[in-house]
Amino acid sequence: MSMPPLPEILPLTPYLREMVWGGRRLGNLYGKPLPAGQSIGESFELSALPGRDTVVADGLMAGRGLLSLHREFGAQLVGEEVSERYGSDFPLLIKLIDAHDDLSIQVHPDDAYAQSRELGLFGKTEAWVVLHSEDGRIALGLEPGVDETALRQAIGDGEAERVVRFQVVSAGDVVYLPAGTVHALCRGVLIYEVQQSSDITFRLYDYDRAGLDGEKRELHIDHGLAVTDFDAHPEPTRTPSDSSRTTLLDAEYFRLELFQGEPGVIETGASFAAVTVVEGGVTLEGSEQSHLLAVGGSAMIRAGTRVRVIPASGARCLVATPAV
């Protein structure tokens, strides 16, 4: 029996993850069907992580998980150049994250460290776009002069916040976080996050907090200190408000663009694209099908496709592609 053709556009149903620091804004602001009584911190918009993969919402592939589609269709789904660089591993993970409370002060490894410890193929370089901020702040790197000894001492004394650089952020800020950058998302901030397809996190400090199971959450101080870049001091940038299509980042592992106002075109060629609507509604129009994505909706555009992006008045969407 021949396989059904792979649609150009795959609208996705997210995987929702309860977190001790999560809230309810992903339902209120982005229409996510949050389970009653749960504090949802993360909506996995594009994911092929085992057990947390996103599922096709409708069409010929409805109900299929992204992990299984990638295994079956390979380069037809993600593109020849993506397959050449990343092999059988899916390269990107995209989330919406709601910080109702402070996240842990944390750091992620690079590829070399993750592989040397058999934690996976990918480390975790990521980028954030701030969507909402209630006078919120983020931790972004360490104070000048802080070294491994000083950071370890501050953690041991329960004063890690003293040696971390905090910055107030507002909607529209863009933050690029290479692996090794100490960081934290703090209370009141809601973000879009694109990253390598890895969920490896080394917690350095967690406010002596219990997890959802009532047990104190584990720290990973030795691993965290081993991968920390003590000279990393990234600064947020602003998204422009007057351009219909803007490249926000063109980084080592991914490219991120903002579409707003005027219609545009995505040509995926030998790669794929992931679209997430962060304001209003957007129509994706391919040669064989079209989909209207409401705010909070996401879709994957397979490789070798030309799709028109038609934003409604005031609408905005973010488009991520893997670097090849």
> What values do phi and psi take at 146, rounded to 5?
-75, 125
Q: Per-residue DSSP letters for 201-238?
A: -EEEE-TT-B-TTSSBPPP-HHHHHHH--TT-----EE
Q: How far are the Cα atoms of 27, 54, 110 from residue 24, in angstroms, in the given order?
A: 6, 20, 32
Give the angle 198-199-203 at the CA atoms, nearest 5°.
Answer: 135
Beta bridge partners of 11: 299
Question: Which residues are within 8 A (CB) of 72 and not within 5 positions of it... i.e. 6 or more apart?
Answer: 3
Q: Answer yes or no: 203 catalytic.
A: yes
Q: Of all helices (H) and strands (E), which one includes residue 254?
A: strand 254-260
From 25, 203, 255, 316, active-site residue: 203
Q: Which residues are catalytic?
A: 203
